[in-house]
Amino acid sequence: MPLLPAEFADLERFADWVLPTEPQRYAKRLASAMPQMQEFYDTAFPRLEDAIAYCDKFPLTDLPEDARALLHLMQSLVNVSFPVEVWKQARVPDSGAAMVHLIREPVV
């Protein structure tokens, strides 16, 4: 059964990146190889504006499940953008034990 809206069926192969919390997305990023992140980025980034427009059709507090999944996928895309665009590695370079603690998710 598809997780994403039909208009985004091409992104369905990245369903393992549909993660509801930032710690899950960060852990997935750290556990992923750069070629895997690059493929996800190269495929999903061109669809970002369409995904935002799709999600904007609904109130953030009342997203249909497929739109929520799409939002979480795009949040994962943001999470891999710096490793792909800048660092060329999953971890923040020269940062030691850098941690990010999100207090509240915008949508879970």
What pLDDT, in 10s, does the model give residues 46-62?
999 999 999 999 999 99
In a domain, 3, yes or no: no
Instruction: Evaluate if residue 95 carries a pLDDT over 70.
Output: no
Predicted TM-score (pTM) of the model is 0.84
CA dihedral 44→67→21→80, nearest 10 degrees, is: 10
Structural domain contains residue 79: yes
| Cα 74–chain centre separation | 4
Q: Where are the beta strands (DSSP E) in the chain?
A: none
**CB–CB of 89/83 below 8 Å?**
yes
CB 5 within 8 A of CB 50: no
Residue 92 within any structural domain of the chain: no
What pLDDT sits at residue 92?
63
Domain of residue 40 covers 20-87
